[in-house]
């Protein structure tokens, strides 16, 4: 295997946004841009390819990325791991950068810190941790281990927790002191910055 460190990005926008009344969260405006546009602009400079995980509004998402993936059977509706499974066959880089669409304050500096940690210990999954706790959807995953471990984990588990899956590969937290950057936009009244 090559020692090359390169990254594909996956931005998660496939949830149901129940706390927002079921609107498509990724398409909501924040500071004049949609949440998905903000996150795609963040990942583009650091990744060779950018995917969006979405399960509706596909035509709109395809205007932002020609690589939109939807959950596939039998892993539809299980949350973020469903999005990860849907992308497995398309991954050609050494690592996958995973981010949710709903943290528009997440900075390029935090992203750089996360990627540097992953490059230093590429065999582990790295995720952001703040004073509020772990942020498992802000992560960098080694692709070879992901492809090997995720199908087995999904077939054997009844609980589709992201952190439980990360234990299968090995994980390391990357502490980020700016907790405010990890605030999730879960309610419509949070859209005003």
Alpha-carbon distance of 54 to 170, in angstroms, equals 27
Q: Is 14 within any annotated ligand binding site? A: yes
Token pair belonging to 167: 């234990």
Helices (H), the chain: 35-43, 58-62, 80-87, 108-120, 143-156, 162-169
Grouping H, G, I as helix, E, B as strand and the rest as coil, residue 16 is coil
Q: Is 71 within any annotated ligand binding site? A: yes
- Largest Cα–Cα distance of the chain, in whole Å? 48
Q: Is 13 within any annotated ligand binding site? A: yes
Q: Which residues make up each annotated binding site for Mg(2+)?
A: 102
Q: Which residues make up each annotated binding site?
A: 12-14, 25, 71, 102
Q: Which residues make up each annotated binding site for GTP?
A: 12-14, 25, 71, 102
């Amino acid at each position: 295997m090559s020692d090359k460190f390169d990254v594909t990005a996956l931005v998660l926008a496939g949830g149901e946004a129940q706390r927002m009344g079921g609107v498509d969260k990724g398409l909501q405006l924040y500071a004049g841009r949609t949440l998905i546009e903000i996150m795609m602009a963040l990942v583009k400079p650091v990744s060779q390819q950018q995917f969006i995980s979405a399960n509706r509004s596909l035509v709109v998402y395809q205007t932002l990325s020609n690589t939109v993936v939807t959950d596939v059977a039998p892993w539809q509706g299980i949350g973020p791991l469903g999005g990860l499974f849907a992308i497995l066959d398309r991954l050609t880089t050494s690592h996958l950068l995973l981010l949710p669409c709903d943290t528009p304050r997440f900075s390029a500096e935090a992203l750089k810190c996360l990627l540097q940690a992953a490059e230093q210990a590429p065999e582990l999954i790295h995720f952001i941790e703040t004073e509020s706790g772990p942020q498992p959807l802000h992560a960098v995953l080694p692709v070879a281990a992901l492809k090997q471990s995720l199908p087995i984990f999904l077939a054997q588990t009844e609980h589709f927790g992201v952190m439980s899956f990360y234990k299968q590969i090995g994980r390391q937290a990357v502490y980020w002191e700016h907790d405010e950057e990890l605030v999730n936009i879960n309610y419509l009244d949070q859209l005003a910055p």
